[in-house]
Amino acid sequence: MKAVNIKDLVLQFYPEMNKAEKQVAQKTLDCPRKIIHMSISELSKFCEVSETTIFRFCNKLGFKGFQEFKINLALTIATPMENIHGDVCEDDDSYLVMKKILKSSVLVLEKTMEVNKPETIEKITRHIVDAKKNFVLGKRRLCCFGGRRLS
């Protein structure tokens, strides 16, 4: 499935929409991050329209149904994650490895703060601190833990 920009579609078809469909369109433009987590019945209540109106709205935009619409909406609002890992190479000296790890760590922390509420971070931190054991898992990357190289 090729993702399409929902905002562009909504604006393109907006003049052809009836009043109820325009309500859905406006909520879609105003609250896309909220809508991607809703069921069709939740969205119909949120927009104060019928479920049939939601389905007609999705069809008007060219989707086979509500799920296809939500998938494309999620793809529209998703920001591609930039590469936050500086690949560590065999011939990198210690200083360069440390710089790459530091840069990667800072970017990970910034992204974490960007997408989470402070209360959530506090709660997760408390679980980690209170845990009897913590495990570190990695996938397809060179990892260092406790001064040892893990692969």
Q: Tokens representing 20?
A: 């109820």
- Residue 139 in any domain: the answer is yes
Top pLDDT among 107 and 140 is at: 107
- Residue 86 in any domain: the answer is no
Note whether 14 and 73 are same-domain residues.
yes
Kindly give, in sequence order, each residue whose CB lies less than 8 Å from that of residue 118, ignoring residues fewer than 6 positions away: none
Phi then psi for 149, rounded to 5 degrees? Answer: -85, 125
- The mean pLDDT of 75-96, rounded to a whole number, is 68
- Residue 83 in any domain: the answer is no
Note whether 72 and 23 are same-domain residues.
yes
Number of domains in the chain: 2
Domain span holding position 99: 94-150
pLDDT 10s digits, 106-133: 887 888 787 778 888 899 889 888 988 8
CATH code for position 62: 1.10.10.10
Q: In terms of pTM, does the model score above 0.85?
A: no
Note whether 68 and 105 are same-domain residues.
no
pLDDT 10s digits, 23-33: 999 999 999 98
- Residue 107 in any domain: the answer is yes
In this predicted structure, the answer to whether residue 18 has a pLDDT above a threshold of 90 is yes
Helical spans, DSSP H, in 14-134:
19-30, 32-35, 40-47, 51-60, 66-77, 94-115, 118-130
Note whether 18 and 64 are same-domain residues.
yes
pLDDT 10s digits, 92-107: 888 888 888 888 888 8
